[in-house]
Amino acid sequence: MDFLQLVKDARTCRRFDEAAGLPQGALPWLVDCVRCSPSAKNQQALRFAAVSSPEARAALFPALRWAGALPDWNGPEPGERPAGYLVMCAPKDAGPTVRIDMGIAGQTVQLAATSRGLAACMFLSFDPHVIAPIIDLPDDLAIVLVIALGKPVEIRRLTDVPANGCLNYWRDSDGVHYVPKRALKDILIREL
Ligand X SMILES: Cc1cc2nc3c(=O)[nH]c(=O)nc-3n(C[C@H](O)[C@H](O)[C@H](O)COP(=O)(O)O)c2cc1C
Residues that bind ligand X (CB under 6 A): 11-12, 65-67, 121-125, 169, 179
- Per the document, the length of the chain is 192
145, 125 contact by CB (below 8 A): no
Q: 49's torsion region: left (phi>0), alpha (psi -120 to 50) or beta?
A: beta
In whole angstroms, how close is the CB of 181 to ligand X at the nearest point?
A: 7
- Is the Cβ of residue 54 or residue 103 nearer to ligand X in the bound state? 103
**Strands 47-51 and 141-150, how do they pair?**
unpaired
Nearer to ligand X, 22 or 121 (CB): 121
| Contact by Cβ (8 Å): 51, 117 | no
Q: How far is the CB of 179 from ligand X (least distance, A)?
A: 4
Q: Closest CB to ligand X among 45 and 122?
A: 122
Residue 130, Cβ density class (10 Å: 0-12 exposed, 13-18 middle, ≥19 buried) = middle
Least Å distance, CB 58 to ligand X, is 19
Helices assigned H by DSSP within 82-121: 98-115
**DSSP secondary structure code for residue 16 in this structure:** B
Give me the phi and psi of 19, to 5 degrees please. -65, -25
Q: Which one, 25 or 175, has the nearer CB to ligand X? A: 175
CB of 62 to ligand X, least distance (A): 14
Using the minimum distance from each CB to ligand X, give the nearer residue, 26 or 121.
121
Q: What is the strand order of the sheet 156-160 is part of?
A: 156-160, 177-181, 170-171
